[in-house]
């Protein structure tokens, strides 16, 4: 493949970089202040990140800069390490940033790109929401002009009414600033609802800046002084190059220092990894990012940024998605975003110092709100009560303690819930370290088949992921969970992401074998447990993805669909060689209007004494109008063992030697069967040789695999059934 030149589509990348820099400027300033770093640190982070990652990185349309998650950890780092002295704390924190860059670089070399997969999706969501709450509450105070607040997030939350009550007593200078802050917040919230094209040309954060500058300009035109008190206006150093700080590494022996390094690294890498994954889904050219290479680049950028006085460089989702929306095609847009940012700061240094803190705080309050919006709580509840529990546990634990403890609590809570749901600890303890994934290319269908046994949760998803990553995304994949006792939400959500990735590139991921698992929720990604079911019962309310697809298939064909099981113990009894087969249940039944064609899944076991695992498969039943001879048709000799017991033998077709050699047709009435297999039928069956067909004289049963068929395979079976019925009944 010829390497795409950096210069292709240069114009669109310059433009995208420009638009992103408009958003990045206020965010960089705001995030730096919120982290307890000097204002310019945010700019340094974004510029260093943009330049270095665009050269070294492995992703395509991501934008790098200071991340939201870091605000919380860095702020506590500055206050803890500095013991109240903000400047000393800043210098200590810089050394922590540099070291965390080193750790990140190491992660990249150790290929830890899958790090974020080791945490349950819900716990990560809980952690992000906790960051959101912290950001929201702290910046809410700043928005009201209170710059010196201290205390835990919960204390601050309780104190909000007092803050509002004290508002009428503040000075005019502060009141103006608060006014600008509140208006800015309104702009942020209403921006997505305004559809005016002219208004939408400029992104919301830039409107906030323009509002502040316009306010200032108004007063300078009427000849007065800006009424906002000087302490509430941002201040940039006069000469950024000479005011370079020296990081202070003297605390390297303290365990608390390393705890901070670890949490900075963890938050920064999780945020970046999630963003890279999310941006890959947006990339119009459907490229796959080299995550480990990107991690190395972020590590290098963080080290450099730390030495220059900046924060951790991370990949940021909102700026990246703006980048994609403005038709960026490669990493050069990240470079131009850095370039424009630097340009703005140098050219408009004077103007920037007229922006009040309150308007930056308004932007961050809105960001915090987005991370912890009520909609997230509702979504968690929909997936399942236990997910809401995990989410809230992580959220509260993170707020009460720190990020590391919080996410570990969430992880532990998830595991405990899984054990409780399964009522079995051994399922996890016994099978954790064993390999549990098999992947191979099926010879018959040329698609990839992935089978998972034991259990599949966040604990061992990386094994499944490693296999899935090795499949070209243009291929068809079937993931079979029928031997898997427990599948959690994290796995299903990640698999859903794979589904999307494969569909975008022309491939397909289909998940089978989850339909008989139990669940209490109606969400398609809810946790699913396989329990030995003694009595027949109606499944939980939730449908799996496959059931939804089957239902859609039924609608498309105008068929009826019934997912709940019913007993038809004797369903297979009058078929050749299945005299002893007892069907445990029959479910996911699709049938046409006059009930002579139906497709369904069954679970059956052969015999009673034989402790053979029960088998799940999908069958198609064709009811015929006129009686036909009893026969079985098969390419492989799968049914041989059964039929030779019953005294049936292979029927030869002397006129069709090739057909006779390739297929095994058996029956107790050779003449009748020979007469039944007309030349047209023989050529039809040869073309569909991968189906196994059983006939009891009145009905035909068609089967493809000894596993449930995926929705696409089911659709093909239905087509085959329709054609078959037409051929036989005429």
First to last CA, the chain: 53
List C-alpha distances in Å: 467 to 120, 394, 512: 19, 30, 17
The answer to whether residue 438 forms part of the interface with another protein (CB under 8 A) is yes
Q: Residue 312 Cβ, how far from another protein at the closest point, in Å?
A: 23
Q: What's the sign of the alpha-carbon dihedral 592, 593, 597, 601?
A: positive
Measured between alpha carbons, how far is 111 from 105 in angstroms, rounded to an integer? 10
The answer to whether residue 291 forms part of the interface with another protein (CB under 8 A) is yes
Residue range at the interface with another protein (CB under 8 A); choices 216-224, 264-272, 633-641, 691-699: 633-641
The answer to whether residue 434 forms part of the interface with another protein (CB under 8 A) is yes
Q: Residue 634 Cβ, how far from another protein at the closest point, in Å?
A: 11
Query: Closer to another protein at the Cβ: 85 or 442?
Result: 442
CB 451 within 8 A of CB 438: yes
Instruction: Return the residue of 84, 284, 435, 506 that touches another protein, per CB under 8 A.
Output: 435
Q: Name 623's bridge partners.
A: 699
Residue range at the interface with another protein (CB under 8 A); choices 257-265, 271-279, 282-290, 550-558: 282-290
Query: Closer to another protein at the Cβ: 278 or 439?
Result: 439
The answer to whether residue 649 forms part of the interface with another protein (CB under 8 A) is no
Map tokens 């963080």 to a residue: 302
Instruction: Return the residue of 87, 200, 281, 430 that touches another protein, per CB under 8 A.
Output: 430
Calculate the dihedral angle through the C-alpha atoms of 402, 407, 412, 413, rounding to the nearest 10 degrees: 90
Where does 249-325 have alpha helices with state H? Answer: 255-282, 291-307, 317-325
Task: Give the footprint of another protein on residues 82-111 (CB under 8 A).
Answer: 111
The answer to whether residue 445 forms part of the interface with another protein (CB under 8 A) is no
The answer to whether residue 439 forms part of the interface with another protein (CB under 8 A) is yes
* Exposure of 489 in the CB half-sphere (CA atoms within 13 A): 32
The answer to whether residue 446 forms part of the interface with another protein (CB under 8 A) is no
Instruction: Return the residue of 158, 186, 343, 638 that touches another protein, per CB under 8 A.
Output: 638
Measured between alpha carbons, how far is 24 from 34 in angstroms, rounded to an integer? 15
CA-only gyration radius of the chain, Å: 32
Residue range at the interface with another protein (CB under 8 A); choices 31-39, 270-278, 400-408, 435-443: 435-443
Measured between alpha carbons, how far is 41 from 312 in angstroms, rounded to an integer? 10
Query: Closer to another protein at the Cβ: 167 or 432?
Result: 432
Query: Closer to another protein at the Cβ: 493 or 640?
Result: 640
CB 291 within 8 A of CB 251: no
The answer to whether residue 284 forms part of the interface with another protein (CB under 8 A) is no
- Among 292, 364, 345, 433, residue whose Cα is nearest residue 44: 345
Residues in the interface with another protein (CB under 8 A) total 43
Residue range at the interface with another protein (CB under 8 A); choices 4-12, 81-89, 170-178, 429-437: 429-437
Measured between alpha carbons, how far is 180 from 172 in angstroms, rounded to an integer? 13
The answer to whether residue 2 forms part of the interface with another protein (CB under 8 A) is no
Query: Closer to another protein at the Cβ: 621 or 707?
Result: 707
The answer to whether residue 680 forms part of the interface with another protein (CB under 8 A) is no
Q: What is the 3-state secondary structure (H, E, C) of 105-147?
A: HHHHHCCCCCHHHHCCHHHHHHHHHHHHHHHHHHHHHHHCCCC
Q: 1: which DSSP letter?
A: -
Q: Residue 451 Cβ, how far from another protein at the closest point, in Å?
A: 5
Q: Name 665's bridge partners.
A: 633
- Binding-residue pattern over the window 462 to 501 for another protein, x denoting contact by CB under 8 A: -----x-xx-x-------x--x------------------
The residues binding another protein (CB under 8 A) are: 1, 58, 111, 287-293, 430, 434-441, 443, 451, 453, 467, 469-470, 472, 480, 483, 607, 609-613, 615, 636-638, 640-641, 645, 706-707
């Amino acid at each position: 493949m010829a390497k795409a030149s950096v210069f292709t589509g240069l114009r669109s990348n310059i433009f995208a970089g420009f638009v992103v820099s408009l958003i990045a400027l206020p965010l960089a300033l705001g995030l730096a202040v919120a982290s307890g770093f000097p204002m310019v640190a945010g700019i340094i982070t974004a510029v260093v990140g943009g330049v270095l990652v665009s050269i070294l990185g492995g992703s395509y349309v991501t934008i790098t800069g200071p991340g939201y998650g870091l605000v919380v950890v860095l702020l506590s780092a500055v206050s803890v390490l500095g013991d109240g002295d903000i400047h000393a704390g800043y210098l200590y924190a810089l050394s922590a940033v540099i070291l965390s860059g080193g750790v990140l670089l190491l992660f990249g070399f150790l290929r830890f790109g899958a790090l974020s997969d080791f945490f349950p999706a819900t716990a990560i969501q809980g952690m992000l929401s906790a960051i959101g709450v912290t950001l929201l509450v702290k910046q809410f105070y700043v928005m009201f002009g209170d710059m010196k607040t201290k205390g835990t997030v919960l204390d601050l939350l309780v104190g909000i009414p007092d803050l509002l009550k004290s508002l009428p007593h503040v000075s005019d200078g502060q009141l103006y600033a608060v006014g600008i802050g509140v208006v800015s917040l309104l702009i942020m919230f209403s921006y997505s609802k305004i559809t005016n094209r002219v208004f939408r040309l400029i992104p919301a954060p830039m409107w906030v800046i323009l509002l502040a500058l316009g306010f200032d300009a108004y007063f300078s035109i009427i000849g007065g002084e800006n009424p906002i008190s000087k302490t509430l206006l941002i201040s940039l150093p006069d000469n950024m190059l000479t005011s370079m700080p020296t990081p202070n590494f003297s605390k390297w022996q303290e365990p608390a220092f390393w705890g901070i390094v670890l949490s900075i690294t963890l938050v920064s890498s999780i945020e970046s990894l999630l963003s890279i994954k999310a941006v890959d889904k947006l990339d119009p050219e459907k490229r796959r990012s080299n995550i480990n290479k990107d991690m190395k680049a972020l590590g290098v950028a963080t080290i450099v940024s730390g030495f220059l006085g900046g924060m951790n460089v991370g990949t940021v989702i909102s700026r990246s998605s703006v980048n994609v929306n403005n038709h960026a095609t490669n990493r050069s847009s990240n470079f131009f975003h850095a370039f424009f940012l630097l340009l703005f700061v140098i050219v408009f240094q004077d103007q920037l110092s007229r922006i009040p803190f309150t308007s930056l705080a308004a932007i961050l309050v809105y960001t915090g709100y987005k991370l912890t919006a009520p909609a997230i709580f509702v979504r968690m509840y929909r997936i399942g009560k236990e997910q809401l529990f995990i989410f809230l546990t992580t959220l509260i634990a993170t707020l009460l303690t720190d990020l590391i403890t919080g996410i570990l609590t969430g992880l532990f809570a998830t595991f405990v819930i899984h054990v409780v749901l399964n009522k079995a600890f051994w399922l996890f303890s016994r099978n954790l370290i064993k390999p549990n994934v098999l992947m191979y290319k099926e010879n018959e269908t040329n698609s990839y088949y992935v089978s998972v046994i034991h259990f599949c949760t966040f604990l061992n998803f990386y094994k499944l992921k490693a296999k899935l990553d090795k499949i070209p995304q243009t291929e068809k994949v079937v993931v079979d969970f029928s031997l898997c006792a427990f599948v959690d939400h994290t796995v299903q959500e990640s698999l859903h992401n794979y589904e999307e990735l494969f569909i975008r590139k022309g491939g397909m991921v289909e998940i089978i074998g989850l339909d008989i698992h139990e669940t209490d929720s109606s969400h398609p990604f809810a946790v699913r447990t396989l329990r030995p079911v003694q009595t027949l019962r109606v499944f939980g309310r939730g449908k799996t993805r496959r059931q939804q697809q089957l239902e859609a298939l039924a609608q498309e064909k105008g068929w009826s669909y019934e997912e709940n099981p019913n007993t038809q113990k004797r369903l297979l009894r009058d078929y050749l060689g299945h005299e002893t087969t007892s069907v445990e249940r029959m479910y996911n039944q699709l049938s046409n209007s006059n009930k002579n064609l139906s497709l369904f899944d069954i679970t059956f076991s052969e015999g009673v004494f034989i402790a053979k695992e029960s088998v799940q498969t999908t069958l198609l039943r064709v009811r015929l109008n006129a009686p036909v001879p009893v026969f079985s048709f098969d390419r492989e000799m799968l049914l041989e063992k059964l039929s030779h017991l019953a005294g049936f033998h292979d029927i030869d077709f002397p006129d069709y030697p090739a057909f006779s050699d390739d297929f095994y047709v058996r029956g107790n009435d050779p003449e009748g069967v020979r007469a039944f297999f007309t030349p047209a039928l023989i050529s039809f069956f040869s073309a569909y040789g991968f189906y196994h067909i059983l006939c009891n004289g009145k009905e035909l049963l068609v089967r493809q695999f000894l596993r449930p068929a995926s929705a696409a395979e089911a659709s093909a079976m239905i087509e085959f059934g329709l054609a078959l019925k037409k051929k036989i009944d005429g």
